Amino acid sequence: MDGHGEVYRRRDLPIYLGVRFLSEAAALAQTVAIGWTIYSLSDTPLSLGIVGIVQFIPMMLLTLPAGELCDRFSPRALAVAGLALQSLCAGAFLGLSLFRVSTPWPFYGVLLALGSARALAEPAGQALVPFLVAPEQLPRAIAGGSTAWQMAVIAGPALGGLSYALGASVAYAGCGLAFLTAMAGLATLRGRDPERVQTAGPTGRIARITEGIAFIRSQPIVLGAISLDLFAVLLGGATALLPIYARDILDVGPLGLGMLRSAPAAGGCIVAFLQTRFPPDRRIGFKLFSAVAVFGIATIVFALSRSYVTSLAALVVIGASDMVSVNIRSSLVQLATPDAMRGRVSAVNMLFIGASGELGAFESGVLASMFGTVQSVVLGGIGTLFVAAIWMAAFPALRKIDRVHPLA
């Protein structure tokens, strides 16, 4: 053991990274299966948008209360509960597949429960990391978590496409087993215990929930970083429409869809691995805005491509630039947040960033049904570039920040 004794066990972080990989891989494999299932049943872009909105609604309603529960109780317990519910959702998808349900509406009902599970698990997972490692190890632990996540985003969709090619029931059964295994691993973690906070009555709890929002509003650099990523994901995300590209534009089938979903993580994983060795430490603001601009340009290239190879390359660049932004934002948020507020701030961060992916999927589906798939993705890329330019003017402190560590 190191100088921190038994508080930080050396095996806790590797277990956490394994759990993060397994749970994210299962979630993304399931996403590929659901996307192909829903589009096959409905044959309309709007149906893919509904997949996003039915998950966004419970995430919008439950994420902030879940963050408050993290601070009052234990992030680990809440994350375990979220994974248990995700495994039940995978079982429900398996049942619908075995009974050959031919309408998408029952799948939307399960997706509503899945959004609730993610609202519980994801803020807790983010809040848990600082309790597993010493403060000086936190930036590298965040980068390690990002690496595990990106490796999962590479493996998960590819395995999802492959398993779906063997049968939808194979895909959903494998996802359920993976969620259960991840839940068991998470239950073995120890780390230091968070400071318990007691509140008096529902009014006090509501006030504590809103404290996370108030804290972020009081930190211009953190607010700028989170809101920049929010609108970039909201406008620039093309992943919700990948089933349309795979089937109707590039004609590559479910396995090709899995590869398309994996491509952004291939770029992101390379960047995350490099940042574990060489964390960004100078000109942080410039690198953040540059990454968002590259993200927007690569989105436009992907939208206009008719070549499978070019599309994969554009998605790799999208993932690489997004990972630069994610790691910088995560470091800014974690190092600026006191221990007693980590759950609530992580919940706000997750609501802004994680749920915006689902809301962005709905926006993409609506625009695609109105203007066409390609046009909607092009508009999203252009919108991302406008957001980067506006935020550079609106948040000069974020644009000029040089180093992360003085925020700690």
Angle (nearest 5°) at CA 4 between 66 and 9 = 60
Tell me if 161 is assigned to some domain.
Answer: yes
CATH number of residue 398's parent domain: 1.20.1250.20
For 315-350, b/e burial (b = at least 16 CB within 10 A) is bbbbbbbbbbbbbbbbbbbbbbbeeebbbbbbbbbb
Whole-angstrom CA distances from 182 to 18, 39, 78 are 8, 29, 13
Tell me if 4 is assigned to some domain.
Answer: no
Tell me if 5 is assigned to some domain.
Answer: no
Per-residue pLDDT tens over the stretch 254-267: 888 888 988 887 88
Per-residue pLDDT tens over the stretch 146-166: 778 778 878 888 888 889 888
Give the pLDDT band (50/70/90) at residue 288.
Answer: confident
Helix (H) or strand (E) holding 272: helix 253-277
Tell me if 55 is assigned to some domain.
Answer: yes
Q: How far apart are CA 217 and CA 202, in angstroms?
A: 23
Per-residue pLDDT tens over the stretch 196-220: 555 544 445 566 667 777 777 777 7
Angle (nearest 5°) at CA 114 between 123 and 39 = 125
Tell me if 7 is assigned to some domain.
Answer: no
Tell me if 294 is assigned to some domain.
Answer: yes
Q: What pLDDT does residue 360 have?
A: 76
Q: How much is the pTM?
A: 0.70
Give the pLDDT band (50/70/90) at residue 361.
Answer: confident
Tell me if 136 is assigned to some domain.
Answer: yes
Q: What pLDDT does residue 89 have?
A: 96
Whether 234 and 359 have beta carbons less than 8 Å apart is answered as yes
Mean pLDDT for all residues in the chain? 81
Tell me if 121 is assigned to some domain.
Answer: yes
Query: How many domains are there within the chain?
Result: 1
* DSSP for 158-212, written as a single string: HHHHHHHHH-HHHHHHHHHHHHHHHHHHHTT---PPPPP----HHHHHHHHHHHH
Q: Mapping DSSP to helix (H, G, I), strand (E, B) and coil, where does residue 134 land?
A: coil
Domain of 80, in residue numbers: 12-407
